[in-house]
Structure 1
Amino acid sequence: MLSVKAPSDLLRRLRARFDETGYTIDGVRERLGDVAASALAREELVPALRATKDVDPLAALIRLWWLGVPVSTAAVDLPLAELVQFGLLVKVGDAVQASVHLQPWETGGYLVSDRKVRPGDPAVRRDHVVGAGGASANLAQLVSRRPVSRALDLGTGCGVQVLHLAGRADHIVATDVNRRALDLARLSWGLSGIEGVDVRKGSMFEPVDGERFDLIVSNPPFVISPAARLTYRETGHRADDFCRELVRLAPAHLNPGGHCQLLANWLHVKGEDWQDRVGSWLAETGCDGWAVQRDAQDPAEYVELWLRDAAEQGTPVYRDRYDEWLAWFEAQNVTGIGFGWITLHASGTLDPVVRVEELPQQVELPVGDYLPDILDGITTAHRLTDDDLLAAALHLTEGVLEERVGVPGAEDPTRIVLRQTRGLRRATSVGTVEAALAGVCDGDLRLGPLLAAIGDILGEESLTPGGLRSLIAEGYFRLPILD
């Protein structure tokens, strides 16, 4: 049985051995190569096993900790007796096998979780602790990079977000409803040299009742299902009520100016606009809010994804659980399930702004580097009066290009598109007035005279300030106010 009290000295020696051997993100990628790494992303081990068949010290660590296969004790240069004593390894004849998945992470630290579940493995235990994957990396790329005094990682799991918060937050509180998750997270932080994390067990915001933070991050158990079978992904709340409740409660735990950033699922229901559904969540908070749908799946795709996640394909229960889940969605008139980001900002305004949009395209990472510009554009477009806009010196945002589409030889294009090559990489169709404005605004001239001049030259009705608001909110233009 795994001991959660592995001494810090053992963890330091283990980390030192990883560093010496090259068991790092770059070291593993280089050793495996592109083909094996891509296969591993699909949970296929054979290419990685072939790439590590010559069991040198690095290959032994990859096989042991990442692939989870037995490795001869003669090939492993580690303090085996201690690792077995504290439950990180188990003896298998003249070999050892890891009882956990231990992976290097992009921060330079390490993460400890339960072993990956692959087809043919035993059923997942209810308190299974999942490792870091695409969702964890997604949230880490979204979170604001500004330094903060107090940060909360709600639902820390194996502790991945703390690895990203360390160095940016003076004090970090990490919570989880799963005691096993907190135990493994402590090992993650110990291996990564992170000290002083305030660890608390409990659901939702119960462990931090009455406390406030400058930053709250959460990759919560957002999966929408008819039953709460696995703690790391499901809560038992009805439909998508858990994510809604998380959003509703978060503002009471934000300091003035603080941010809450989380991942969520939401339902697409027949006869209802999903944007109205999610927008209503944000509107209840009194905070400025930005919600982004990054992907949407039909109910069958969604069920298949999460049954694969638990390695239930090909098992006797697969068909029955698939059918039960689809029937549950059908009873609620669900047509799809959205996945995305939610950001709240406790701006203190009496006129909060809510924006809900879909961004399926690739975006520049990390989003956290330019998150303040995104939120500033959204709120500026909403709050500035028409007079303020006309008095502002507009300038085109860096990286915006113009594309013209038309019949060859035609005098005028049939379509003009402004496209962002940086940031969120949006693209939008515009008229000739907006295109002309984009071509001349450089931050020196006020918007009012520019619009009037463009209208005279083109012989078209001048663009109103209101017509520019969406382009400002979407980051095509910036509006520094002149004195």
Structure 2
Amino acid sequence: MNIAESQAQGRRVVPGNLGPVNSLPLTSDDVIDRLGTALTGAGFTGDGIGELLGERASTALAAGTWWPALRATRQAPADQQALAVLVRLFVLGGTETDHDVAAALPGITVDELVDQGVVTRTEDGVRALLDIRPHGADDHDYLVISDQDSLLHPGTVSHEHVLGVGAASLSLAHAVIRTPFRRALDIGTGCGIQSLHLSTHCDEVVATDTNPRALALASATARLNGLAWDLREGSLFAPVAGERFDLIVANPPFVVGSGAQDYIYRDSGIEGDGVSRQLIEQMADHLEPGGIAQLLANWIVRDPERWDERIRGWVEGTGLDAWVVQRELADPVSYVSLWTADAGENLRATADRATAWLDWFEREKIAGIGMGLVTLRKPETRSGEPDVVIEEILDAGQEVTGFEAQAYWARRDYLAAMSDEELLAARLTTAPVFLETQSLPGPDGWQQVAALVTRPGGPGAVLPVDEVMTALLAGSRGVLPLSVLVGLLADVHDVDPDALAEAALPVIREAVGRGILYEAE
């Protein structure tokens, strides 16, 4: 059976039996277990490496500067030499002697590591083929296995290259709602980052990928951390045809392009933004009632003034509730530069690929590429039209988190259940917010021209306010019903209370939706 056939049938991959010896890395459960024991014995943990490197070198390494960490390992005391060797080998991409590697990993031979595709022998010694490093999340300390990237070993990465922990995977992990779920699906698992997080709050995890090498490394990552996932090979929903899940997360190869599949980790082989569209359009068939789906997506923008037009058409056609947050609108040059930077190609190859890519964007009349997070929800019952919000939130510090995503849906449900009369009868409280004003100099001194209320840390939690709304927020302390506050303000401004309530209610609902106002307990 060829790869295309196995993808179409959604072939189930059994950990430890992923193919002939040497065709894929870490196919031996015994080797994985002994490797894990040796790494643990050397103190190869987040805390252990942090103590070895020190705060400054650790911070620099997290920011992408590796040489202070290398310097720290060379200064390691005698009782941390094994750990220093392992950090240089698996984290920093260094070359170590056969003797030092064997000493750092007792109970496993270098020949076994070579046979299992973990390391290779060079003229200078032993060099790692895989990146192994701790990943701390959800109060757990994991070990993650991926391929070493081109920054550590100059040269073009392979077609089957498997990325490690990156900015995109971390942003999705931070955005996923972490309440308990029974059954979860991780589409495009790669080395298994999302599945690691899902394991902390989901009873069952099914993880899929089109790349057999990714599934091999995900299987090894799971076993190294004492976890068990149902790993399946295939594209999109083919491996789970007819199945439904309570939570679906996806970090697919969403890069927008001509449909060529140069690198599996970024290129889906589907032209344009087709992979994002297909995932969104097929999501409803695979969610249980009450289920949530969260995915990273890219979409084509031909008119920046109507950037939401394309993604809106996709989500509104699903019948699901949706919250779409565009975090960036990239121009074609910036977009192509971003995705050609990490493949390790030489300057000529990069220039040729980038030129052909930009030519395709020009032929397709693409002005930009929207990049963001899509959260979908399948209501347990449907009593009205789907609740769809599509917005652009660009500022740093306003990223969607799992806590904020969960709170967002709770607020949307609250507003949907509350009539205007019920909302006016409620006692509302203002969350901790900042009031920011903008003024211009004039003949009578500073003249205020705008005012904003901002809830720190809340994605999109910014509300323009006027004098009346500013006073209403100041007075909302959970003591008086909203109708009483509106009446008091109406008396102060000598206006009809009903007219003021009618004018204020849309802004009040917006404030509740942004988490700026909430009902007091």
TM-score, normalised with respect to structure 2: 0.85
> 1:425–1:224: structure 2 CA closer, same or farther, 3 Å change rule?
closer
* 2:236 matches 1:211: no
- Code of the residue aligned with 1:454 in structure 2: it is L
Residues 243 and 286 of structure 2 are in contact (CA less than 8 Å); yes or no, is this contact kept in structure 1? yes
Identity of aligned residues (%): 36
- Code of the residue aligned with 2:133 in structure 1: it is Q
Instruction: List per-residue Cα deviations over 1:18-61 (Å, max 9, x = no partner).
Output: 33433223443454456655665675544443333346222211
Where in structure 2 are the equivalents of 1:421-432 lying within 5 Å? 421-424=456-459, 426-432=461-467
**Stretches of structure 2 lacking an aligned partner (at least 5 in a row):** 1-21
2:71 maps to 50
Which among 80, 84, 89 is matched to residue 109 of structure 2? 80
- Code of the residue aligned with 1:176 in structure 2: it is D
Residues 148 and 168 of structure 1 are in contact (CA less than 8 Å); yes or no, is this contact kept in structure 2? yes
- Code of the residue aligned with 1:149 in structure 2: it is R
Deviates more, 1:32-41 or 1:76-85: 32-41
Write the distance in 1 (CA, Å) between the matches of 2:64 and 2:492: 61
- Code of the residue aligned with 1:103 in structure 2: it is R
Which among 463, 473, 480 is matched to residue 438 of structure 1? 473
- Code of the residue aligned with 1:328 in structure 2: it is W
Deviation at residue 411 of structure 1 after TM alignment: 8.8
Residues 353 and 382 of structure 1 are in contact (CA less than 8 Å); yes or no, is this contact kept in structure 2? no
Residues 26 and 217 of structure 2 are in contact (CA less than 8 Å); yes or no, is this contact kept in structure 1? no
1:181 maps to 214
Write the distance in 1 (CA, Å) between the matches of 2:25 and 2:247: 28
2:10 maps to none
Write the distance in 2 (CA, Å) between the matches of 1:178 and 1:428: 45
Write the distance in 2 (CA, Å) between the matches of 1:68 and 1:358: 39
Secondary structure of the 2:278 match is: helix
2:120 maps to 90
TM-score, normalised with respect to structure 1: 0.91
Deviation at residue 315 of structure 1 after TM alignment: 3.0
Secondary structure of the 1:145 match is: coil
1:101 maps to 131
Residues 66 and 101 of structure 1 are in contact (CA less than 8 Å); yes or no, is this contact kept in structure 2? yes
2:403 maps to 369
- Code of the residue aligned with 1:241 in structure 2: it is G
* 2:183 matches 1:158: no
- RMSD of aligned residue pairs (Cα, Å): 2.6
Residues 142 and 366 of structure 1 are in contact (CA less than 8 Å); yes or no, is this contact kept in structure 2? yes
Deviation at residue 239 of structure 1 after TM alignment: 1.5
**Stretches of structure 1 lacking an aligned partner (at least 5 in a row):** none
* 2:337 matches 1:316: no
Instruction: List per-residue Cα deviations over 1:133-169 (Å, max 9, x = no partner).
Output: 1111111100011001000001111111111011311
1:328 maps to 360
Where in structure 2 are the equivalents of 1:187-202 lying within 5 Å? 187-195=220-228, 197-202=229-234
Which among 31, 37, 61 is matched to residue 16 of structure 1? 37
> 1:274–1:384: structure 2 CA closer, same or farther, 3 Å change rule?
farther
Residues 430 and 476 of structure 2 are in contact (CA less than 8 Å); yes or no, is this contact kept in structure 1? yes
Which among 318, 322, 335 is matched to residue 302 of structure 1? 335
* 2:255 matches 1:255: no
2:433 maps to 400
1:449 maps to 484
Write the distance in 2 (CA, Å) between the matches of 1:66 and 1:457: 66
2:423 maps to 389
Deviation at residue 299 of structure 1 after TM alignment: 0.7
- Code of the residue aligned with 1:431 in structure 2: it is D
Residues 156 and 175 of structure 1 are in contact (CA less than 8 Å); yes or no, is this contact kept in structure 2? yes
> 1:315–1:362: structure 2 CA closer, same or farther, 3 Å change rule?
closer
1:237 maps to 270
> 1:212–1:146: structure 2 CA closer, same or farther, 3 Å change rule?
same
Deviation at residue 80 of structure 1 after TM alignment: 2.7
Write the distance in 1 (CA, Å) between the matches of 2:52 and 2:313: 49
Residues 93 and 153 of structure 2 are in contact (CA less than 8 Å); yes or no, is this contact kept in structure 1? no
Deviation at residue 285 of structure 1 after TM alignment: 1.2
Write the distance in 2 (CA, Å) between the matches of 1:311 and 1:35: 28
Deviation at residue 371 of structure 1 after TM alignment: 2.0
Deviation at residue 104 of structure 1 after TM alignment: 1.2
Instruction: List per-residue Cα deviations over 1:380-405 (Å, max 9, x = no partner).
Output: 445643233223322212x2222344
Which among 70, 73, 85 is matched to residue 60 of structure 1? 85
Write the distance in 2 (CA, Å) between the matches of 1:315 and 1:71: 30
Write the distance in 1 (CA, Å) between the matches of 2:355 and 2:54: 39
1:475 maps to 515
Deviates more, 1:233-242 or 1:288-297: 233-242
Write the distance in 2 (CA, Å) between the matches of 1:339 and 1:248: 18
1:356 maps to 390
Deviates more, 1:253-262 or 1:119-128: 119-128
Deviation at residue 130 of structure 1 after TM alignment: 1.4
Deviation at residue 271 of structure 1 after TM alignment: 6.6
Residues 364 and 423 of structure 1 are in contact (CA less than 8 Å); yes or no, is this contact kept in structure 2? yes
> 1:446–1:259: structure 2 CA closer, same or farther, 3 Å change rule?
same
Deviation at residue 222 of structure 1 after TM alignment: 0.6
Write the distance in 2 (CA, Å) between the matches of 1:31 and 1:16: 19
What is the number of equivalent residue pairs in this alignment?
478
Write the distance in 2 (CA, Å) between the matches of 1:271 and 1:130: 31
